[in-house]
Structure 1
Amino acid sequence: MLQKYVSAENGGGMGVTVDKDVASSWETFRLWRVSDSEFQFRTSQGQFLTCDGEGGSVSAIAGSSSIKETFYVERNYDNRVHIKLKNGNYLQATVANQLSADYPGMPGWDDNAATFEMTIVANYIHGDYQLANGYGHDKAKEVLKRHRNSFITIEDFIFLNRHGINTVRIPVGWWIAFDPNPPAPFIGGTLEALDNAFSWAQAYNIRCIIDLHAAPGSQNGMEHSASRDGSTGWPTSASYISQTLDVIDFLASRYGKHPTLLGIELLNEPSAASVSLDLLVSYYKQGYQIVRKYSSKVYVIVCQRIGNADPSELFQADIGSYNLVVDLHYYNLFDNFFVNMSPLDNIQFIYNSRETQLQALNSANGPLVFIGEWVNEWNVTNATQLDYQNFGRTQLEVYNAASFGWSYWTLKNDRKHWDFEWNIRNNYLQLGRSLQSSFPLFVLKKHMHTHI
């Protein structure tokens, strides 16, 4: 065996060699699962490995994937694999350090030119796309139907009403506009779930915010935006952006006159690293006008970019003239800055940084301010119940001052401190008199889809 790594030269767009001693980004590929045994290999620059057929060399020049970019992977022990084309030809590493589809016959699992070692270096995306694609349509439909029938029910709206919560923020994916038969691999049923939520909310005097949480191609590369492989394709495609505006049109036309609808959030957490401010503002302006076609009263909510972005940037963008809200997400997590903080450090940060920022934004002559996501969790180890109560009380005190209120992530969760109901039932988060004020809105996010 050569004991070399397969490499896409320049990270993609060129040939493929088998000549590298150390694996880096050129030697790392994103696996697109087609079936249990069929996969496509995407390079770090976004191209796909492709082969014309028997005897052909493998290159990394395909801009999209189809049959020629689909390979069968046979697996054995110790991460050993064989890779072959649809016609049965196996790939091999040649003595000239090329990757070609001309291995003679069927290889064994000994040290030969057609046996490779495949190492999974990361497997961190477990969102809607992976659930549906992994289970396959029929099984995924069964799993999601069972989930949607049991995860959020009318009993949860009774709970919210009893505890003074007056609004839910409901995240949806772009494929809801194609229900009941969305594009593969997504599964229908989300529109029915949203209709149910509106009915239950209306019965218990609760308003609804529809939050477009996942856009075509993914706006941030994360699992909750239904990214297929961790990449952020939404800002690179005019077609994706146009399709997203069509989804906003669908939601606004269907729910715009519904008495329970309070607002429509045009996009959740676009990435500052991938989505330029100019592109995002252009999209937000178009989305604002679409909502206004169907309602003059519904609030239009625009979310800050996540990452290295100034929260005030959207206040200066002139997106819409009235009933416009900017959504900020406040977590004492996801940043090394918070790693070694004590309970008191976390509380002081809320007062010294978050409260100061909120006061400045509230006093600006612009959109309303919405703390659209926060959670009573932190990086503190061995925190007591009293520590959590104090942290939650501080956040409620500060976030109550937001001119459009706040929203907790999330109503139910397998991690208990992220679970709003668990926090309330177990007295870790004490709403108390915090809801007895004159602020116009206190909202709670209700999670309508699963993370597995």
Structure 2
Amino acid sequence: MELVFSKWVFAFSLFCCLIFSVAFSVEGLDEDSKVRGVNLGGWLVLEGWIKPSLFEGIPNADMLDGTQVSFKSVKLQKYVCAENGGGMGISVNRDSESSWETFTLWRVNESEFQFRTTQGQFLTCYGNGCTVSATAKSASSMETFQIERNDDGRVHIQTKSGAYLQATVDSQLTADYPGKPGWDDNAATFKMSIVANNLHGDYQLANGYGYSKAKEVLERHRSTFINSADFEFLHRNGINTVRIPVGWWIAYDPNPPAPFIGGTLASLDNAFSWAQAYKIKCIIDLHAAPGSQNGMEHSASRDGTIGWTTSESISQTLHVINFLASRYANHPALLGIELLNEPSAASVPLDILVPYYKQGYEIVRKHSPSAYVIVCQRIGNADPIELYKADIGSHNLVVDLHYYNLFDPYFVTLSPIDNIQFIYKSREPQVQALNAADGPLLFIGEWVNEWNVTNGTQSEYQDFGRAQLEVIHGRTFSTAQCGFYLHRYGSIGVEYCDDDIARHQR
């Protein structure tokens, strides 16, 4: 059993009432209009919290792509700083670390890295004796540095030509330290601190291990994490739909662009075959788009930046949708295609997202007149009614809205009863209003039975789950977000995620 973030792993709700409003008939289901489904999260798109052991064998695993670090000169007792956040020189003159003193890693291999500033430039050095600046707009050999680490957190930093960086008495960072430094308080020794190490997705795993080892790890994971026995288990327990997150690189199998590892397409083909055998329907969810639509690990972002809104990335994304629609449109197990998971409200403008959704809708319709086309609401400060007002498509269009009493400061101080009342006083009116709107169906694509409460009882968890089921039941079609396997906990039909326990107890 994997014991990581035990509260999260054990308490994430997985039971899914994926239910359309009873006024609608869901095309493609044999028995009735009710869709009961689960997310197959952490399978074809990685999320480190779901299966952290996948990352445990990576050398220097605390220095993956996207890790944020700071450097403090042990001689000067000052932090290295990219003036103005980048685009200028580098100084070693700050007493504390903040954004200008924090650098984001691009990993080349286990000991070589590139350092990106908050403004997006890279640290660069134009040869031995140079003064390091933060002016490079892209990274190559001159922006690549080797890190030598000591057990106590001290490091040396070398250029590709072998020169050691040092902090000079006039607070500059130069590549001219004479000879090889020791680990005393010399000018070439720095104290490195890991400020944040939050990204553990496909990019981090593949680039962390390197191709050969990553291929071995992922092949084993994809063949064991989900298999035909899981679909039989779902069918036996009344589940008739699965939402399958995929990454954009699936369209380029078997040899996707580096560092991504091929093989997800064969796994998705298997899922459709298993689904058909057990009378289960599939929703293909484009969870990770080129450039990243939200900067999170589940979008396969390299370093937390969001680059999906470029015309090149959107065009590539439409190619992926066309690939998926053409491949699976006529498969009897297909229920729908979700065009994009969780675009960021702060970084993805509506006037870019809606035209993409319209084009994606038309692409799916070109291949299928009936498959549900699902468009996900922007996460962050955005009203879901915005997609109801948009002219995206007229037939079998669904808006996906994700419900969490997490990830927002508002919920931090709420008690169990406050959380439950929020469901009834805020979520229920929203669900009712959106269902009353003239437009797409409403889809609760992710929801959880977890909160920020640290001392919730089993009974309170059950009440929280019951409240969500009551609000969702009969009005929407929804899934819960988790790793996939079911584990019974309590008596009201709410189930929780704990993959290893469930696999052995089911």
User: Fold-level match, TM-score > 0.5?
Assistant: yes
Aligned to 1:4: 78
What is the distance in 1 between the residues matched to 2:95 and 2:416?
Answer: 47
State, as a whole percentage, how many aligned pairs show the same letter: 72
What is the distance in 2 between the residues matched to 1:429 and 1:222?
Answer: 33
The residue matched to 1:329 in structure 2 has which SS? strand
What is the distance in 2 between the residues matched to 1:321 and 1:85?
Answer: 58
Aligned to 1:324: 397
The structure 2 residue matched to 1:365, chosen from 414, 417, 438, is 438
The residue matched to 1:149 in structure 2 has which SS? helix
Q: Which amino acid aligns with 2:324?
A: L
Q: Give the TM-score normalised by the residue count of structure 2.
A: 0.80
The residue matched to 1:244 in structure 2 has which SS? helix
Aligned to 1:299: 372
Q: Post-superposition shift, 1:325?
A: 0.7
Q: Post-superposition shift, 1:193?
A: 1.0
What is the distance in 2 between the residues matched to 1:186 and 1:252?
Answer: 22
Alignment of 1:23-422 (within 5 A): 23-235=97-309, 237-403=310-476, 405-410=477-482, 412=484, 421-422=486-487
Q: In the alignment, is the contact (CA less than 8 A) between 2:462 and 2:494 conserved in 1?
A: no
Aligned to 2:504: none
The residue matched to 1:118 in structure 2 has which SS? strand
Q: Post-superposition shift, 1:431?
A: 6.5
**Whose relative contact order is higher, 1 or 2, with alpha carbons under 8 Å and at least 6 apart?**
2
Aligned to 1:438: none
Q: Post-superposition shift, 1:315?
A: 0.8
Q: Post-superposition shift, 1:26?
A: 0.9
What is the distance in 1 between the residues matched to 2:494 and 2:206?
Answer: 37
What is the distance in 1 between the residues matched to 2:322 and 2:401?
Answer: 24
Distance 1:383 1:213, change over 3 A: same
What is the distance in 2 between the residues matched to 1:58 and 1:155?
Answer: 56
Q: Which amino acid aligns with 1:92?
A: Q
Q: Post-superposition shift, 1:149?
A: 1.4
Q: In the alignment, is the contact (CA less than 8 A) between 1:3 and 1:21 conserved in 2?
A: yes
Structure 1 stretch 185-194 or stretch 90-99: which is displaced more?
A: 90-99
The residue matched to 2:374 in structure 1 has which SS? strand
Q: Which amino acid aligns with 1:215?
A: A
Q: In the alignment, is the contact (CA less than 8 A) between 1:376 and 1:429 conserved in 2?
A: no
Q: In the alignment, is the contact (CA less than 8 A) between 1:371 and 1:402 conserved in 2?
A: no
Q: Describe the superposition over 1:105-136 as per-residue Cα deviations: whole angstroms up to 9, x where unpaired.
A: 21222222211121111111111211222222
Distance 1:406 1:97, change over 3 A: same
What is the distance in 1 between the residues matched to 2:492 and 2:183?
Answer: 57
Q: Give the TM-score normalised by the residue count of structure 1.
A: 0.89
Q: Which amino acid aligns with 2:489?
A: N
Q: Describe the superposition over 1:1-44 as per-residue Cα deviations: whole angstroms up to 9, x where unpaired.
A: 22222111111112212222222211110011111110000000
Distance 1:338 1:243, change over 3 A: same
What is the distance in 1 between the residues matched to 2:293 and 2:249?
Answer: 14
Q: Describe the superposition over 1:301-320 as per-residue Cα deviations: whole angstroms up to 9, x where unpaired.
A: 11011111111111111111
What is the distance in 1 between the residues matched to 2:83 and 2:192?
Answer: 19
Q: Post-superposition shift, 1:138?
A: 1.7
**What residue ranges of structure 2 are gaps of 5+ in the alignment?**
1-74, 500-506
Q: Describe the superposition over 1:243-298 as per-residue Cα deviations: whole angstroms up to 9, x where unpaired.
A: 11111111111112212111111111111111111111121112112212211111
Q: How many residues in Structure 1 have an aligned counterpart in Structure 2?
A: 424
Q: Post-superposition shift, 1:210?
A: 0.4
**What residue ranges of structure 1 are gaps of 5+ in the alignment?**
413-418, 433-443, 448-452
What is the distance in 1 between the residues matched to 2:141 and 2:280?
Answer: 50
The residue matched to 2:439 in structure 1 has which SS? coil
Distance 1:411 1:87, change over 3 A: closer
Q: Post-superposition shift, 1:429?
A: 5.1
Q: Post-superposition shift, 1:372?
A: 0.5
